[in-house]
Structure 1
Amino acid sequence: MTATTDRTADLTLPFARPNILELAPLYEVLRREAPVAAVTTPAGDPAWLVTRFEEVRDLLGDKRLGRSHPHPEQASRITDGAVQEGPSGNYETEEADHTRMRRLLTPAFSAKRMRRMGEDVQGLVDGYLDTLVAAKEADGVADLHETLAVPLPVAVICRLLGVPHDDSGYFRDLSDRMASYGHGDDAQAARAEFGRYMAGLAEQKRADRTEDVISDLVTAQEEDESYDYAEMIRLSVGLLFAGHETTVNRIGLGVLMLLTQPERWRYLVEDPAGRTDRVVEEIMRLGAPGDLGLLRYAHTDVEVGGVTIQEGDAVILSVNAANRDPQAFADAEAFDPEREERAHVGFGHGGHFCIGASLARTELRTVFRTLAERLPDLRLAVDLDDIDVRTQHLTGGVKALPVTW
Structure 2
Amino acid sequence: MLEPLTQEMFMAATAPAPQLPFARPNALDLAPLFARLRQQGPLARVTTPAGDPAWLVTTYDEARAILGDPRFGKSHPTPETASRISSAAIQSGPISTFEGEAREHARMRRMLVPAFTAPRMRRLSARIEHLAERCLDGMEEARRSRPDAPLNLHDHLSFPLPVQVICELLGVPSGDRDLLRGWSERIGALHGGADGQTAMAEFQAYVATLAEKKRLSPGEDVITDILKVQAEDATFTEDDMTRLAAGLLFAGHETTSTRIDFGVMFLLSDPARRDCFAADPAAQVQDTVEEILRMAAPGGLGLMRYAREDVTIGKDVIARGDAVLVAINSANRDAKRFEAPDTFNPSRTPNAHLAFGHGGHYCIGNALARTEMRIAFTALFRRMPRLHLAVDPHTLPDHAERLAGGVSTVPVLW
Decide: shared fold, TM above 0.5. yes
Q: Is 1:124–2:131 an aligned residue pair?
A: yes
2:58 paired residue number: 51
Cα contact 2:26–2:398 (8 A) shared by 1: no
Deviation at 1:364, TM superposition (A): 0.2
Unaligned runs of 5+ in 2: 1-9
Render the CA deviation track for 1:125-172: whole Å, top value 9, x for unaligned: 111111111212222221110011111000000110001121111122
Cα deviation, 1:168-189, whole Å, max 9, x if unaligned, reads: 1112211111110224411111
- The offset of 1:28, in angstroms, is 0.8
Could you tell me how far 1:228 is from its partner in structure 2? 2.3
**Equivalent residue, structure 1, for 2:116:** 109
CA distance in structure 1 between the aligned counterparts of 2:328 and 2:158, rounded to whole angstroms: 22
Partner of 1:82: 89
Q: SS of 1:316's equivalent?
A: strand
Confirm whether residue 336 of structure 1 aligns to residue 348 of structure 2.
no
Match of 2:100 among 80, 93, 96: 93
Is the 2:57–2:63 Cα contact (8 Å) retained in structure 1?
yes
Matched with 1:360 is 369
Do the aligned partners of residues 36 and 9 (structure 1) sit closer, same or farther apart at CA in structure 2, a change above 3 Å counting? farther
Match of 1:15 in 2: 22
Match in the other structure for 2:5: none
Q: Determine which of 186, 192, 204 is the counterpart of 2:201.
A: 192
Q: Give the SS at the match of 1:70.
A: coil
Aligned length: 403
Distance 1:114 1:7, change over 3 A: farther
* In 1: Cα distance, 2:227 partner to 2:352 partner: 36
Q: Which one is further off, 309-318 or 383-392?
A: 383-392
Amino acid at match of 1:338: S
Q: Is the 8 A contact 1:37 1:50 kept in 2?
A: yes
Three-state SS of the structure 1 residue aligned to 2:299 is: coil
Q: Distance in 2 between matches of 1:381 and 1:148?
A: 16
Q: Within 1, Cα distance between the matches of 2:315 and 2:281?
A: 45
Whether the 8 Å CA contact 1:154–1:168 is kept in 2: the answer is yes
CA contact (8 A) 2:263 2:296 kept: yes
From 301, 324, 330, the equivalent of 1:321 is 330
Root-mean-square deviation (Å): 1.6
CA distance in 2, matches of 1:37, 1:388: 26
Higher alpha-carbon deviation: 23-32 or 262-271: 262-271
Asked whether 1:274 is paired with 2:302, we answer no
Letter in 1 for 2:174: H
More off after superposition, 244-253 vs 79-88? 79-88
Q: Counterparts of 1:388 and 1:208 in 2: how far apart (Å)?
A: 45
Unaligned runs of at least 5 residues, structure 1: none
Partner Cα distance (2:11, 2:126) in 1: 52
Mean Cα deviation higher: 125-134 or 266-275? 266-275
Give 1:115 shift.
1.5
Identical pairs, percent: 49
Residue 245 of structure 1: aligned partner: 254
Q: Does the residue aligned with 1:48 lie in a helix, a strand or coil?
A: strand
The 1:4/1:353 distance shift into structure 2, 3 A limit, reads farther
Aligned to 1:64: 71
Task: Confirm whether residue 153 of structure 1 aligns to residue 162 of structure 2.
Answer: yes
- The question of 1:211 aligning with 2:232 is answered no
**Aligned with 2:232 (options 223, 235, 249):** 223
- The offset of 1:389, in angstroms, is 4.0
Query: Which residue number corresponds to residue 13 of structure 2?
Result: 6
Q: TM-score, normalised by structure 1?
A: 0.96
Residues 78-87 or 245-254, more deviating? 78-87
User: Is the partner of 1:11 in helix, strand or coil?
Assistant: coil
Contact 1:8 1:37 in 2 (8 A): no
Secondary structure of the residue aligned to 1:103 is helix
2:311 pairs, out of 285, 288, 302, with 302
Q: CA deviation at 1:16?
A: 0.4
Relative to structure 1, the CA distance from residue 168 to residue 313 in structure 2 (aligned partners, 3 Å threshold; closer, same or farther) is same
- Normalising by the residue count of structure 2, what TM-score does the alignment of the two structures yield? 0.94
The 8 Å contact of residues 388 and 400 in structure 1, kept in 2 or not, is answered as no
